[in-house]
Structure 1
Amino acid sequence: MNRKNTWTSRCFVLTVGAVCLTFAASANAQVQTETNTTAGTASKAVKVESAQVVYVSGNDLVVKMADGTLRHFNNVPESARVEVDGKELGIHDLKVGMTLHKTITTTTTPKVVTTTKSVTGTVFYVQPPNSVILTMADGKNQQFKIPKGQKFDVNGQQTDAWGLKKGMTVSATQVVEEPQTVVTQQAKLTGTMPPPPPPPPADVPILIVVAEPVTPAAPAPAVAEAAPATLPKTGTELPLFGLLGVLTLLSGLGLRLFRKDV
């Protein structure tokens, strides 16, 4: 007798196992699921990072951050764009001295995802408080895990898993609310050209060179011919005769000395 009961129990366990396999194959088609998402008020945070271009060659870029640190970006893609004075520039258009601004906008949106699952069927087997096997409208059996605290509607009355009996037609609804936070980021890169050199101070005169025309010099006035000297009315010719006498005397002495030497 005991062997017969044992054999019957084993057969029942095998039968339940077969039912579980049937449920696993068709559960998705029997449970009605509805999902709703409710979004809350989004918050935005804006962060701006500035840097100055100190080196650019090919696709390599080195910038100096506001805190003085250097950042090296090697192999900058050709598709990268920066908006400068309303124009989109590529990596090859950047110049040393330009200032780049990266504006990062972070949007945080809280959401609540509500999932409602509902099922109606006839109790085929129940193992409280963990699981129940229901016969669905199409005649197939499905096994369900019973969540903690789950209530079932039986002829308009609420009961738990311990109140379920074979043959009861029950309806169950499970509502799960899952809070989520969706974070999105948007980055925009802009830039400004280097400032022009400062003008000289107002109190420092600017050197201006003006070439003045050269005026030819006027010719020197001709020297007037000297008028012949005239002796004063009171002068005489005696000094002239005296000079001639001296010259004659010297000439005679010279000849005498010449002959004597010869």
Structure 2
Amino acid sequence: MKMEDGSLRHFPNVPESARITVGGQQLGIHDLKPGMKLERTITTTSTPQTVTTVQTVTGKVWQVQPPSHVILTLEDGTNQSFRIPKDQKFNIDGTMVDAWGLKKGMRVSATKVVETPVNVVTQAKNVTGEMPPPPPPPDQPILVVVVRHPAPQVAEAAPEPAPQQLPKTGSLLPLVGLLGIFCTGVSLSIRRLSRS
């Protein structure tokens, strides 16, 4: 495609299902024609959502401020502060207790609920186009002249006059042969007569 800035851009692997709205009609990729103007509109929608993650936390009570906060020493040795939700229960050696029952050094196991706000971004793409303008009419009408040449007529041959003399098609060789045979015959006849 030729972009508005004049640069050429290649769009590989356009699916057969891609559709473009041109003049109210849905056209496929094979229906596009050179000169069509295409415009792609991308609508981006960002929707805020809260992702809730539930994790199991195990550690020792380092400090507790009932009923709202507790600081635990986790298994990796770090201290982390947690907000205690209302009516939260803790599992202490198989016994469930609330925040008032926690004491420093107790090993606790509890579920940690983490709510993380995220934005879910969706995009809708719409491609529209317009047909190329028709070619402009010529400034002047074009005159096309067709010249037809008549086919040459074959003239009838005039009758040839009879030749004044016959053509020389024969040779003297047969005449010489005939004279030779005649002379041979005459000589044989004379010889026979002279013997008798």
TM-score category of the 2 structures, normalised to the smaller one:
0.3 to 0.5
Structure 1 length normalisation: TM-score? 0.35
Structure 2 length normalisation: TM-score? 0.45
Greater RCO, CA 8 A, separation 6+: 2
